[in-house]
Every structure is written in C-alpha cells, then in structure tokens.
Amino acid sequence: MRRRLVCALVFGLHAVAAAAAPLEYIGQNIVPTGAQYAGTTIGGLSGIDFDAAASRYWAISDDRSQLNPARFYDLTLDLSQFARSSAPGSAGVTFTGVTNLKTVAGTDFAALTVDPESIRKVGDTLYWSNEGQRTAAGFQNPTVRSMDLAGNHTGDFAVPTRFNPVGDASGLVAGDAGIYNNLAFESLTLSTDRTKLYVAAENGLAQDSLPVTQATNQPSTTRVVEFDVATRSAQAEYAYEVGPLTALPSPASAFATNGLVEMLAVGDRQFLTVERSFATGVPGNGIRIYLADARNASDVSALDSLEGATFTPMSKQLLLDLNTLTNDDGSPLLLDNIEGITFGPGFGPYAQTLILVSDNNFSGTQFTQFVALGLTAPIPEPETYALLGAGLVLLALRRRPQPSPGRHRSETDRLR
C-alpha cells in the first residue's frame, strides 16, 4: 500500500511536470558572427519583441557604440525555414531596418556610455533598459527609458537610487551598494494591460546578496521593480531568487555565472523568466524558463537591504529546461547566450509561439541564435501546479486501503 501511494505521488509529480511544460521545440536559425546589415555588424541581440500588427520583430543590440553606434533592428522571421538541426542556416531571418539610439540631446551615444539590454514595443513607443556600469574605469547608473521609432529619447523612468553603484568597483567591500558590473538591468517587460513596466537586475544588489559565482554557487536575491507607466514612478519591488549554476566550470576555479536575463508578463504579476547559466569549459549555456509569480510576494521597496531581512520572495516553477531539447537527428540543442524572449505568432498547429534570441558577444566562437518554441496549451497559472499535485495526492490517499487495528502499529513504525 505504501508502494501504491508512492507510485501515485510519483505519477502526480510527472503529471505536474507535464502540465508545466506546454512547449515544443519547432526549430532554430543561426546568423553567423560577422554578418552585416546596412553597414552594421549584426550581433549582441539582448532583447526582442514581436509587433503582431506589423508581423515583425524589434531587437536591441548591446553594442556599447564600440563597433557601430548603439542601435536596434527590425526584422522578420519565417518559422517555416526554422529546423530542428545543428546546422539550420539563417534563411528564415531577414533584417529590414536599423535605427540608432539617441541621447537626451539627440546625438548618437559615444563609445562605452550606454549598454542596451532589453526592448519592448507598445504602439509607436519603444521601452528599453540600459545596464549601467561598475568598473575601475567609472560608474554608470542603470536606466529605463522610452524612445520613438526613430530612436529619439522621449522619457526616463525614476529608477530607485538603491540601484546606483556606490563604493568599490568590485561591489564586494563592506558598505558597497547598487548593481554589480554586468549583472544589472537585463530584463524588461510590460504588464499584459500595458499599465505597468517591470525591470530586474540579473543578480542581487551589493547590499542585498552576493552574485552567483563558481566560488559560492549559491542563489542570488535580486529585485524586480514595478513602475507605473503613466507616472513613470516606482510602485513596488519584489525579491526574486536567481538559481545556482546548472553546471560547474572546468577547471573549478574558472569563470561561471547564472542570471535572470529576461522576463515576459503573462498575467497579473506573473511572468515567464529566463535564467542563463554559463560555465567555462562546458559547451553551450544552461537555459531555463520559469513561471514566476509576485502576487503573494512581499513588497520590499521599504528595505534598504535584503540581507537578513524577513520577506516572501516571488514563487517560481520550472517550465522548461531547454537543455533537454534535441534535434531531429538526436543531437542536443546547443544553446548560445540566450538573453531575449517574446511571444511570436501562431505557426502550424500552434496558436502561439515563443521566440528566443542570443547575444553572441560579437565573438567568433559564438553565434546569433533564434529558437522557436510552440505553445501546445495556454501557459497555466502557477496555482494549477499546486491544485493538480494536491488533487493527485488526495486521490492516492483516498484510494489507499485503511489498515486494520492489528496492522496499524507495524505500518506506522515502518513509515518512521
């Protein structure tokens, strides 16, 4: 009878996992590093958004005006050209425009003065995040801004000052505060009704949590900021636990990291989140999509530091580990530095798709990768998992035969 209960519980967990992954691998396209469009080097695509009305995509490059001026592209994707293959080609990707980002003064950004990471389009407005900087060469505050389709600056959001880097360049000295370098505003999304904007740092702030590293391999507690779009002011902050590494580096002392690299709103304070793990010596990247929920999370905006504080973080449930996907020949899907996600159009049997894109770091050993996933069912709300699991456990318990008085003690002892 115990075995029957355990089997039912295992079945329940498998059913929950199945319910938690209504995604299927459609295929990929790869644009090789060095590809050119309109005199610019294609690469660094850190954010992507789909414009359903125009059937095209908007992708922002994190080129810090070093190869070409900071910019965003518009492009189209033909998913019929995507393939579950390790050599899929790039025929399904067509770049149709490129636009430079403008400063408040209306000029192109100078080299190393901006680090664009995420982009979202609403009507004729583009919202974008700038990661900021914390290095010995200087500090730059992270920003959230809006622009028109010509790249002209149209406004700033009031980012809480706790995100501004203060102290040592490492962020690891007592009294340091603000973002860690290269671990800041990677994520940006708007609520489904477009009244709220959310942005998150890739890892915790210096006063809140250590970053995920090969040395500690511990989770990092970051903050998700909720802004009111109309007033552009911060309304709340929620803690999000970034997971540890998905693989250890080789050698053990080599660089490794994991971070929250993008969010996509799917409901009231509910999001798809993308965590990307990298470890030196390990092929590809560990990419996981979670379903995260802030509805029962604490508003931590009144806490100057999260270290040692009592709060309830956002809940999260693993939706898909992309490293489990395979191509038609059985080879694993090798994932590059995935940093962007958006809902895409319907395709074939799928009423909706998810499109992911990688930032190739303009490296000859990396590539710009577009991955298409088909939604086989609407993304379930997080409580669906708990209800399904609880229902299956209850069913197992109700079907479990009641022990006779003579067997009660021995079974109880055996279960201890």
% of the chain with per-residue pLDDT over 70: 86
Q: Are 5 and 140 part of one and the same domain? A: no
**Full 3-state SS string of the chain:** CHHHHHHHHHHHHHHHHHHCCCEEEEEEEEEECCCEECCEECCCEEEEEEECCCCEEEEEECCCCCCCCCEEEEEEECHHHCECCCCCCCCCEEEEEEEECECCCCCECCCCCCCEEEEEEECCEEEEEECCEEECCEEECCEEEEEECCCCEEEECECCHHHCCECCCCCCCCCCECCCCCCCEEEEEECCCCCEEEEEECCCCCCCCCCCCCCCCCCEEEEEEEEECCCCEEEEEEEEEECCCCCCCCCCCCCEEEEEEEEEEEECCEEEEEEEEEECCCCCCEEEEEEEECCCCCCCCCCCCCCCCCCCCCEEEEEEEHHHCECCCCCECCCCCEEEEEEECCECCECCEEEEEECCCCCCCCEEEEEEEEECCCCCCCHHHHHHHHHHHHHHHHHCCCCCHHHHHHHHHHHC
Token readout for 398 is 């109700």
Confidence band of 379 (pLDDT split at 50, 70, 90): confident
Confidence band of 394 (pLDDT split at 50, 70, 90): very low
Q: Are 146 and 165 part of one and the same domain? A: yes
| pLDDT at 380 (0 to 100) | 55
**126-165 per-position pLDDT tens digit:** 999 999 999 999 999 999 999 999 999 999 999 999 999 9
pTM of this prediction? 0.88
Q: Are 399 and 268 part of one and the same domain? A: no
Token readout for 162 is 């706790």
Separation CA 330–CA 101 (nearest Å): 42
CATH code, domain with 76: 2.115.10
Q: Are 220 and 72 part of one and the same domain? A: yes
pLDDT greater than 80 at residue 17: no
| pLDDT at 377 (0 to 100) | 84
Q: Are 414 and 331 part of one and the same domain? A: no
Among 222, 229, 230, smallest CA distance to 200 is for: 222
Q: Are 16 and 28 part of one and the same domain? A: no
Residue range of the domain that includes 185? 23-379
Whole-number mean pLDDT of the chain?
89
| pLDDT at 95 (0 to 100) | 98
Q: Are 249 and 395 part of one and the same domain? A: no
**196-212 per-position pLDDT tens digit:** 999 999 999 999 999 99
Q: Are 300 and 388 part of one and the same domain? A: no
Q: What is Dmax (Cα atoms) for the chain? A: 86
80 against 393, higher pLDDT = 80
CB 83 within 8 A of CB 90: no
Token readout for 100 is 């430079």
Q: Are 67 and 212 part of one and the same domain? A: yes
Q: Are 76 and 100 part of one and the same domain? A: yes
Q: Are 332 and 242 part of one and the same domain? A: yes
Neighbours of 194 (CB within 10 A): 14
Q: Are 197 and 335 part of one and the same domain? A: yes
Number of compact structural domains in the chain:
2
Q: Give the SS3 label for residue 324.
A: helix
Separation CA 208–CA 223 (nearest Å): 9
| pLDDT at 9 (0 to 100) | 30
